[in-house]
Amino acid sequence: MAVSVARASQHPLLEGRSVFITPNIKPPKEMMSSLVKAVHGQVVEKSQISASAANIQDNLFILSCEEDRAICVPLLDKGIAAYTSELILNGIIIQKLEFERHQLFKNHASRSQTRTRLRKDVCLQRELVKL
C-alpha cells in the first residue's frame, strides 16, 4: 500500500488522459467520473470527440460495458479503445493501468484496425497509380 500511495503522489494515474464514460457503466457514471477526476483524468462527453480532435484522441479511452456496445462502435471504428470500469477501480488500488486485461470489444478493435490498414493501403496504391 505504501508503494501505491508514493507512486500516486509522484505520478497521478490518469494525468494527461481523457476518458469518455458510457451511461450504463457500473458503478454508476457519476461515481466513475469522480474517480477519474480524483486521479487527474479529464472526463469528456461524446460531443467533444471528433475527427479533428486528434490531440484528444491520442490520450483518450472509453470506460464502458457490454450493454453500451452500440455507443462505442463509432469510436472503436476511429481506433479508440474501450475498457471495463475495472481498469480504473483496480488501477487506483495498484497504481497501474492494465489495459490488456480490462479491454472490451477486442474483436471489434482488431477488425477496425485491419480495415484502417486496408484503406491506407488502397489510398497508397491509388497514389502510386497516379505517378
Domain count, the chain: 1
Separation of alpha carbons 124 and 111, rounded Å: 20
How many angstroms separate the most distant Cα atoms in the chain? Answer: 62
Query: Who has greater pLDDT, 17 or 108?
Result: 17
Residue span of the structural domain in which 107 resides: 2-130
If pLDDT is split at 50, 70 and 90, which confidence band does 38 have? very high
**pLDDT at position 13:** 95
The domain that contains 119 carries what CATH number? 3.40.50.10190
If pLDDT is split at 50, 70 and 90, which confidence band does 52 have? very low
SS3 100: helix
Contact 59, 17 (CB under 8 A): yes
Q: Does residue 55 have a pLDDT over 80?
A: no
Peptide bond into 12 cis (omega under 30): no
Q: Does residue 57 have a pLDDT over 90?
A: no
SS3 85: coil
